[in-house]
Structure 1
């Protein structure tokens, strides 16, 4: 399939999505959302065992294309809530609910909803020159596309409030220090490290990794008793997978496991 606003490839179980509007800093448009949503069935398929998201050019993404969201000449005001409901929310919910690892490689600016997208990944890497920006407050809006959910869980309520209300640039190294992202990489090494990580995860026990993701995503809302019950149920399911049996056999045979993702 030919895409206008993204690039897509699938190799060795790794699905790579590149936001591809470099002249517009990869800002989101309705067309981009349509193309991203068209990938959902592919990403759910058995051929995909890890997903890698990055941006073309000098930005991961600068948020929404404001040319699509501004008031019209007639004075009609945009329904930003409807835009979230039909475009951003399905994307974020899909990535968080996908039962396989999702990695974001932030190659430059990640602002507004693009920062939300980066944080929606299970593991976020960033180039040393990259930076993050909760830009919403600068135009009178609230953080969206999941940022009000992710920020306090990643950095705590105090830091989250400052990031959201002040909208200051957060360099990648500071983002790593505060626990906002997993790791900073040298600019020239970012994509090599991101691909190596995605390849490593794609060769792992996919169902087990999906259960890990499900358990950790549920943890903040659960009581200890509820989380213990979830662990019991997920561990039962993990124990019935081919990859668990393979992992045990490989351990006893003192060889690397050959996981199939099933």
Structure 2
């Protein structure tokens, strides 16, 4: 399949997506969304054990390309709710539902939907020191979409979430790490190597267990303690019968490195 707005590669258990509109800071268009949807279908159907998302050029993603969502000169209105329902919400839902880790590498600016693609769609977010996160929706009379209103308060708390959303200030990557918004901030020159190392690590990890961990933590946000304990019981029962658990125990007892199959 040929892509124009993104690059897609899948090999050795590692799937990689690069947003690829560098002249527009990788801002979203309908065409890019359709290509992302096709790439995610390939990830869902293939043998990937990790997905890495990053951006080409000097920025990760500047959010929506507003040239596609301008009110008409005749006073016509744009249905932004339909845009969310058709493109952004399905993207975040699919990334969260993937039964494998999603690693996001942020280089340069991550603004609007681009920031929230990382924060609401990524499981491990690594940013270059020069990167920044911006919620500029307030400057347009809008709200943080693409899962922003869900992810922000859970990542940084109510006060900081409201400050970011109501002021639209730029948050440097180092501060995002200090606030617990992202996993790691690394020197710019080390970002690609760090993403490659994480990809190789997860490609050899016990994928089913990681997928269950991802799901359990996600469901915990809406569960009672009793419901979560029941979920842990059921998941541990299934994982205890998995090939990877048997291999992990055998490797521990034999004092060797495990060879996980992701099953």
2:185 is the alignment partner of 1:184: yes
- Distance in 2, matches of 1:10 and 1:95, equals 16
Deviation readout 1:100-125 (Å, 9 max, x if unpaired): 00000001100000001011200000
What residue in structure 2 maps to residue 153 of structure 1? 154
Give 5+ residue unaligned stretches, structure 1. none
Paired residue secondary structure (1:39): helix
**Corresponding residue for 2:8?**
8
**Secondary structure of 1:184's aligned partner:** strand
1:42–1:48 contact (8 Å) kept in structure 2: no
SS in 2 for 1:126: strand
SS state at 1:254 partner: coil
Q: CA RMSD in A?
A: 0.8
User: Which residue matches 2:212?
Assistant: 211
Please give the residue correspondences for 1:31-70 in structure 2 after superposition, counting only pairs within 5 Å. 31-70=31-70
State TM-score, norm by structure 2. Answer: 0.98
Partners of 2:195 and 2:151 in 1: CA distance: 21
Alignment coverage as a number of residue pairs:
262
Cα displacement (A) at 1:10: 1.2
3-state DSSP of counterpart to 1:61: coil
Distance in 2 between the 1:88 and 1:81 partners?
Answer: 10
Contact 1:50 1:201 in 2 (8 A): yes
Cα deviations by residue, 1:51-76 (Å, 9 ceiling, x for unpaired): 00000000000000000111122221
CA distance in 2 between partners of 1:237 and 1:111 (Å): 40
Q: Give the whole-Å Cα distance in 1 for the aligned partners of 2:253 and 2:45.
A: 32
Q: Name the CA distance, whole Å, in 2 between partners of 1:74 and 1:248.
A: 68
Using the size of structure 1 for normalisation, the TM-score is 0.99
Which residue of structure 2 aligns with residue 74 of structure 1? 74
Is 1:235–2:233 an aligned residue pair? no
The answer for unaligned runs of 5 or more in structure 2 is none
